[in-house]
């Protein structure tokens, strides 16, 4: 399980997975706050997390360890 970067709630599994260039991407939808976030993996390691910020677009958030 992973934690939502906005509210800290645990999200059980990704709602969608795909490959983008050298990355494997996992999208999660938080059941608690309703926001979505994406984790980008390269060679099996988490590299960064993206999520929307109201009025600012999509931003990179602090990396989290699983």
Q: Give pLDDT tens digits for 6-53.
A: 999 999 999 999 999 999 999 999 999 999 999 999 999 999 999 999
Q: What are the structure tokens assigned to 17, written together? A: 């997975």
pLDDT at 62 (0 to 100):
75
Q: What is the pTM of this model?
A: 0.86
pLDDT exceeds 70 at position 64: no
State phi, psi for 63 to the nearest 5 degrees. -65, 145
Residue 42 CA to residue 21 CA, distance in Å, equals 10
pLDDT grade for 66, boundaries at 50, 70 and 90? very low
């Amino acid at each position: 399980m992973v934690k939502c970067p906005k509210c800290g709630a645990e999200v059980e599994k990704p709602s969608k997975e795909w490959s983008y260039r050298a990355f494997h991407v996992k999208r999660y939808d938080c059941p608690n706050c309703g926001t979505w976030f994406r984790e980008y993996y390269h060679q099996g390691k988490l590299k960064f997390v993206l999520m929307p910020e109201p009025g600012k677009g999509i931003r990179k958030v602090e990396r989290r360890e699983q």
